[in-house]
Structures are given as C-alpha cells and as structure tokens.
A and B are shown apart, each in its own frame.
Chain A
Amino acid sequence: MLEGLLIGLSAAISPFNLMMVVMGCLIGTLIGMLPGLGPMSIIAIMIPVAIGIGDPTAALILLSGVYYGAIFGGSTSSILLNAPGVAGTVASSFDGYPMARKGQAGKALTIAAIASFAGGTIGAVLLMIFAPALSSVALLFHSAEYFALMVVGLSAIAAFAGTGQVAKALMMTILGLILGTVGEGALSNMPRFTFGMMELQSGFSFITLAMAMFALPEALFLVMNPARAATGDSGKIDNLRISKDEAKSIAPVIGRQSVQGFFIGVLPGAGATIASFLGYAVERNIATKEEQAEFGKGSIKGLAAPETANNAACTGSFVPLLTLGIPGSGTTAILLGALLALNVTPGPRLMTDTPDVFWAVIISMYIGNLVLLILNLPLIPYIAKILTIPRSFLIPFILFFTLMGSYLGQNNSTELLILVGFGVVATILRFADYPLAPLLIGFILGTMLEDNFARAMQLYRGFGFILERPMTLGLLVLAALLVLLPSFRTYRARKRAEGVADGD
C-alpha cells in the first residue's frame, strides 16, 4: 500500500495534475452553487474537457475535483439561500440556513467546509483500506459473477429509489439497457436497432445521454420555474472563525458520520442524499435534550452531520467503481463512462494494470479536500457573487455548454438534435417523477452486462452457469429479493391501509 501511495503521490503532485485539482474544485464550486445544477450535470459538462486532456489520471483528478467542488458549492447555496444546488445538501439547509439568518453565515460555511474536509479525508482513508481488499476478492470473479453482480447493482439502485418508485426505477433501468443495445454490439458486429441510420451505427453517445438526462432538464426547469433559482443577495459573509468549544462539540459528530456516511456511500444506489439525511437523523436522536431542541434552529451539530456524511458517501461511492467497475450512483456512472472513453477499464485489475490511475485518484482526493478547505473557503465571499448573475445570462450559457459538450464528443451536429430529443423526453419523465439516474446507469452498464452475459453463456453453452456457479445463483437471488421485497412491503401496507386482511 505504501508503494502505491508513493506512485499516486508522484503522479498527483505533478504541477499539471495539481492545477487540475485546483481547477476542478473551483469550477465545481462555482457551478455547484447554482441552484438546480447538481454534480451530475456539472461532471457531464466537464467530460469533453477531461477527455480532451487525454491523460486518464489528469482527467479523473479533474473530474473528482469537480465532484467535490460541486458538493461543497451545493452546501454553500443551501446555507446562504436555503436553495440547495444538490439533493445531497438538502439536509445541510435545515440548520445551515437558520445559522445564516442569525448572521452566522461565515461560521456555518466554516463548519461546512471543515466537516466536508474531515468527511472526505476520513472517507479517503477508508477507501484506501477497503478498495484493495475488495479488488483482491473481485479478481476471483468470472464473467458469470460479474453479470450477476451488475444485475444486483442495477436492482439495488432501483430498490433504493424510494417507496412507490421501485417499479418506475426498474422501468428506467430497462429503458437504459434497451438504449444501450442500439448500435453495433461487441458480440457479432451486427448493427442492431439502428433502423438503417448511419448516425446510430456506433450507438448513442453517453455524454449526449448524460447531458440530456441531467443538465438539460435542470436548465429547462430553471426557465419554467424561476422560483427554483432563488437568486439575490447572498448576504454579508464575515467572521469565518469557530470557537474551541464548538470544534470540540462537532468532533465526535464528524468522526461518527464519516464512517457511517462512507459505508452508506459504498452501497449501490444509496449515495450522498440518503447518507446526509440519515446522518442528520442519527445525530439528532443521540444528542442530549437541550441540543435536540437546537436542531433545525441553527445547531452546529445538525450542520456538521449531513455535511460530513455526504462527503464521506461521495468517497464511498468510488469503492464499487474502482474495485468492481460497477457504478453505484449516477455520478460515478458518468465517471465510468469518462474512464471508458479514456481507455481505462475500472475494475479489480485497475490496481494492477494502471496503479498510477488508482492511487493518483486517492491522493487527489486528499489534495482536493485540502484545496476546498484552504483555497475555496477564503474565496467563498467572492465566489458567492455568482449567485447574483441574472438568470437571463446564466441559462443560455448552461444550454450552450450542454450543446458544446455533446458536439465535441462526436463532432457531429446530428448529435445535437439527438440531445434535444432526449432532453425533451427526460424533462417529461422528470415531470412524471421518474428517476433518471437508473436510466443512465443502465445505459452505461448495458454493454458490459451483455458482454459478461454472452461470455458466460458461451463458456457454459447456455444458461447452465446460473445453476453451476453457486455464487452467481446467490447474487441473482439477492437481486430478485432486492426488487421484490420493497414492492411486497408497499403492497402489504396498501392492503392494510385499505383495511383488508392479507391472509397471514
């Protein structure tokens, strides 16, 4: 591990890569602050730039910097405006905004930054410990297990989508898988479902799809509902200091939530949002009576908990990506797509084949967190000025960047029409409350899923691999349970609500 750390350190410390971290964090913070634009949109917009760099290490460092920056920027708008830029920072506004109202905006931002820093750093340490262990286990997996593991991942994402949403999330996953089969498959080089169109020969571009699923609907929602973009006075931010007593009281919160957040982040589909809400709830429950009364009115513990948890969870979500090559969230799915475009296949072999990429990412997580703490925090009063840019300037630029991003990926203006088409569909899906992350994850995993499935089928001359490999069978049963249990519980709850006995 020490050797790996040194490899990573030497790669990440190069002036160019350091610049990438700083740039990524700043860009992430700037855009993440805009209400409505989440890390997924920002990363999608940044992908063409990252791919243009050409060096996978630098690209991944840039993108993870953007990711952290976006989460941090999202907390800033949660605290200052009560308008979270990212779902993962909604819980931060519960106590952060009341603090800002009391004139403690500076203090709240400091606490958010320190909590994020600690959560991210402790998360990175845990990642460093667990990822190598997990990838050595994953090396034992065959294509049959990979296939089953991806099925588990996809069903877990659907299962965590929330009550009444499981079937919808599954539908979106399958739609993503269907879109993934368009174009020439690796199996036979036969174009499938292209309807004779040359443009579809190589399938849909994932950048276009990512832009259309996240950035475009967000921008259109901002247009349709100006209330979403609560622009205005960001208030005066001074006095960034916190006292020794305050630091002492949030320290245990940070410790607990780093670990809890990290492990929630590792689970596919759970991610930063669930981690932050759960972190907030847990800390409120274990606080003393007097402290409990403070929650929701500007408690520093109530701010530190979700802030730590969401950053730790972001780091945790890198575990399945880096060790198994299976993204557990929309954001890591986009990162996976970017890596594939750069000819790096994340998975258990990542650590042995390209150790510099793996370790440089981990090192850049530390550096990124440090940059956020020492560079972004003092700059926040100035960065917050971006919140005063009028919407009429901002939205055309956001739209332009989405267009540019998908154009640069393919150098083809038909791609732009596909983008607009998918964007309209995605907006309609958002109206009807369909989750879009499963669609993108399904799309990105689709090809890999089919490849592994095909390999297993060929090795065992048919579906025999399901029965002959107990681990595959176990994983597939787990996937089925993950999907069926929540549906069954909803069904029971509905029956009970209707006052009908359900027979047991």
Chain B
Amino acid sequence: MALDRWIALAFIALVCVYGYAAFFTMDDSLPPILRRNPIWPSTFPKILTILGLIVGLVVLFTPKPKSNAAPKDGAIDLTRLGDYHIWQALALLVLMVAYALTLRPLGFVGSTIGFLVLGSVLLGERRFHILLPVAGIAVGAIWYLVQEVLGIFLRPWPAMFM
C-alpha cells in the first residue's frame, strides 16, 4: 500500500476518535440551558466527522492514476529514501527537541549556541574558528533584538544565575 493510502487510513482513524468524542462524550457536560440552542459546541465537529469520513474513504479507495510525469527536479523520491541523508534529518529533529527541553533550564544563550554549533557539526561543518564566532554574534544580536527591540522577555542565562 502506498504511503498516501496509509495516511488516509491514519486520517480515518483520527476522524473516528474525533467523531467519538463529538458524538458521544462532548454533549454530556453541556448545561441544560444550552441544550435548547439550535447549535451545540459539538454540531460543527459532528459535520466535520461525517465529511472527513467520506473524503478519507474516497482517498483510500480511489485507484491511483498512472502518472507518466517525470519526477520533479529536486523532489524527494520515496523509493530511493535510503540514498538521502535521512539520519541527519532525524538527528536535527532530536536536536530540536533537545533545544525545546533545555531552553528554560540552560537559558537562551547556552542552549542556542549549543543548537547552532551542534547543528552545523551534524551537517559536516568542522571550521570551529568560523562557526563559534558566527553563532555567538548571531545569538547576541537576536537576544538583543527580542529582548530590547521587541520587548519580549527571554532569560539569557541558566535559571540559577537569574
């Protein structure tokens, strides 16, 4: 089964969960006075559930048209997934999660420099004498812009220092 069908299947599953909540659990907490309303908070989700199921099933069961179009230049060809730098991409995703988790405890400066440097190293950069100053200057400039110009508080140092 092609990937797009799997996605359609996952979508149908999602709609089923959503629809279950809309049809069976949501209305229980509705105050009696609101029940006299022609529209309930669950009305729109119910309509979406029905439409979603129809469209999902259409995508799932429509035979795929034979495409003669040449693959687009630079597009990702799923059959050659192994040839791509998929591990680099996954590692970057992990790094992003790590950044999300360390932003508060480590402070903006530390976690951001870490993210930029590790990200570049992951992609094969080894010129640390360029990398470190670039990351440092960028972090300083962005912190200043966010904190001073935009006026959004961004804790620069680890929590224990500030």
Partner-B contacts on A (CB < 8 A): 35, 48-49, 52-53, 83, 163-164, 167-168, 170-171, 174-175, 177-178, 181, 185, 187-188, 190, 192-193, 220-221, 223-228, 230, 390-393, 395-397, 399-400, 403-404, 407-408, 411, 413-414, 416-417, 419-420, 423-424, 428-434, 450, 453-454, 457-458, 460-462, 490, 494
Say yes or no: B101 contacts A457, CB within 8 Å. Answer: no
A395-B92, A413-B103, A458-B39 given as contacts; is B59 within 8 A of A168 (CB)? yes
Partner-A contacts on B (CB < 8 A): 2-4, 6-8, 11, 14-15, 18, 21, 26, 29-30, 34, 37-45, 48, 51-52, 55-56, 58-59, 62-65, 67, 74, 76, 78, 84-86, 88-89, 92-93, 96-97, 99-101, 103-104, 112, 115-116, 119-120, 123-125, 131, 134, 138, 142, 146, 149-153
A181-B48, A403-B100, A413-B103 given as contacts; is B85 within 8 A of A226 (CB)? yes
A413 surroundings in chain B (CB, below 8 A): 100-101, 103-104
CA distance A376 to B83 in the complex (A): 38
A192-B26, A424-B93 given as contacts; is B119 within 8 A of A395 (CB)? yes
A494 surroundings in chain B (CB, below 8 A): 63, 65
Say yes or no: A167 contacts B58, CB within 8 Å. Answer: yes
Say yes or no: B123 contacts A420, CB within 8 Å. Answer: no
B8 surroundings in chain A (CB, below 8 A): 171
A423 surroundings in chain B (CB, below 8 A): 93
B55 surroundings in chain A (CB, below 8 A): 167, 170-171, 174
CA distance A400 to B111 in the complex (A): 11
B153 surroundings in chain A (CB, below 8 A): 411
Say yes or no: A391 contacts B123, CB within 8 Å. Answer: yes
How many residue pairs, one in A and one in B, have C-beta atoms under 8 Å apart? 178
A223 surroundings in chain B (CB, below 8 A): 85, 88-89, 92, 123
B76 surroundings in chain A (CB, below 8 A): 221, 224-225, 430-431
Say yes or no: B152 contacts A416, CB within 8 Å. Answer: no
Query: Closest CB of chain A to B42's CB: distance in Å?
Result: 8
B15 surroundings in chain A (CB, below 8 A): 174, 178
Q: List 25 A-B contacts (CB under 8 A).
A: A48-B150, A52-B146, A171-B8, A171-B52, A171-B56, A181-B44, A181-B48, A188-B41, A225-B74, A227-B74, A390-B125, A392-B124, A395-B119, A395-B123, A396-B92, A396-B119, A397-B138, A400-B119, A416-B97, A424-B93, A429-B7, A453-B44, A454-B43, A458-B38, A461-B38
Give the top 5 A-B pairs by smallest Cβ distance, nearest first: A396-B119, A416-B100, A52-B150, A392-B123, A392-B125
CA distance A188 to B78 in the complex (A): 45
Say yes or no: B100 contacts A420, CB within 8 Å. Answer: yes
A228 nearest CB neighbor, chain B only: B74
B104 surroundings in chain A (CB, below 8 A): 413
A450 surroundings in chain B (CB, below 8 A): 44
Q: Besides the contacts A188-B30, A420-B100, what 14 more A-B pairs have beta carbons closer than 8 Å?
A: A35-B74, A52-B149, A171-B52, A192-B26, A225-B76, A400-B115, A408-B146, A408-B150, A416-B96, A416-B103, A450-B44, A453-B44, A460-B38, A494-B65
CA distance A226 to B116 in the complex (A): 19
Say yes or no: A393 contacts B92, CB within 8 Å. Answer: no
CA distance A411 to B155 in the complex (A): 11
B131 surroundings in chain A (CB, below 8 A): 393
Specify the main secondary structure of chain B where it touches its partner. helix
Query: Closest CB of chain B to A226's CB: distance in Å?
Result: 7
B47 nearest CB neighbor, chain A only: A453
A177-B48, A434-B7 given as contacts; is B39 within 8 A of A454 (CB)? yes
Say yes or no: A49 contacts B29, CB within 8 Å. Answer: no
B138 surroundings in chain A (CB, below 8 A): 397
A432-B2, A432-B3 given as contacts; is B59 within 8 A of A167 (CB)? yes
A399 surroundings in chain B (CB, below 8 A): 92, 96, 115, 119
B2 surroundings in chain A (CB, below 8 A): 432
Query: Closest CB of chain A to B10's CB: distance in Å?
Result: 9
A171-B11, A171-B55, A227-B74 given as contacts; is B4 within 8 A of A434 (CB)? yes
Say yes or no: B26 contacts A420, CB within 8 Å. Answer: no
A411 surroundings in chain B (CB, below 8 A): 152-153
A193 surroundings in chain B (CB, below 8 A): 18, 21, 45
Which of A396, A420, A462 has the most C-beta atoms of chain B within 10 angstroms of its own C-beta?
Answer: A396
B134 nearest CB neighbor, chain A only: A393
B99 nearest CB neighbor, chain A only: A403
Which of B26, B39, B64 has the most C-beta atoms of chain A within 10 angstroms of its own C-beta?
Answer: B39
Say yes or no: A457 contacts B43, CB within 8 Å. Answer: yes
B40 surroundings in chain A (CB, below 8 A): 188
B103 surroundings in chain A (CB, below 8 A): 407, 413, 416
A220-B92, A390-B125 given as contacts; is B99 within 8 A of A187 (CB)? no
Say yes or no: A187 contacts B58, CB within 8 Å. Answer: no
A403 surroundings in chain B (CB, below 8 A): 96, 99-100, 115
B15 nearest CB neighbor, chain A only: A178
Query: Closest CB of chain B to A162's CB: distance in Å?
Result: 11
Query: Closest CB of chain B to A400's CB: distance in Å?
Result: 6
Within the complex, which residue of A187, A395, A417, A419 is in contact with B41, where a contact is CB–CB below 8 Å? A187
CA distance A450 to B56 in the complex (A): 21
Within the complex, which residue of A185, A224, A416 is in contact with B89, where a contact is CB–CB below 8 Å? A224
Within the complex, which residue of B45, B59, B92 is in contact with A192, where a contact is CB–CB below 8 Å? B45
